[in-house]
Amino acid sequence: MSENNKFVLEKGKFNLNRTSKDKMEANPNRPTMWGKLRVPDGVKGGDTLKLSAWSGISQAGNKYLNGKVELEEKPTDPEKEKVGSEVSEDDLPF
pLDDT at 14: 92
Q: Tell me which H or E stretch contains 86.
A: none
Q: Is there a domain that residue 83 lies in?
A: no
Q: Is there a domain that residue 17 lies in?
A: yes
The length of the chain in residues reads 94
Q: Specify the number of domains making up the chain.
A: 1
Q: Tell me which H or E stretch contains 80.
A: helix 78-81
Q: Is there a domain that residue 40 lies in?
A: yes
Q: Is there a domain that residue 45 lies in?
A: yes
Q: Is there a domain that residue 80 lies in?
A: no
Q: Tell me which H or E stretch contains 46.
A: none
pLDDT by residue (tens digit) across 19-34? 989 999 999 899 999 9
Q: For residue 15, which of 31, 37, 46, 39 has the smallest C-alpha distance?
A: 37
Q: Is there a domain that residue 82 lies in?
A: no
Identify the domain containing residue 61 by its residue range: 8-73
Q: Is there a domain that residue 84 lies in?
A: no
Q: Is there a domain that residue 69 lies in?
A: yes
Q: Extract the residue ranges of the chain whose pLDDT is less than 70.
A: 1-5, 77-94
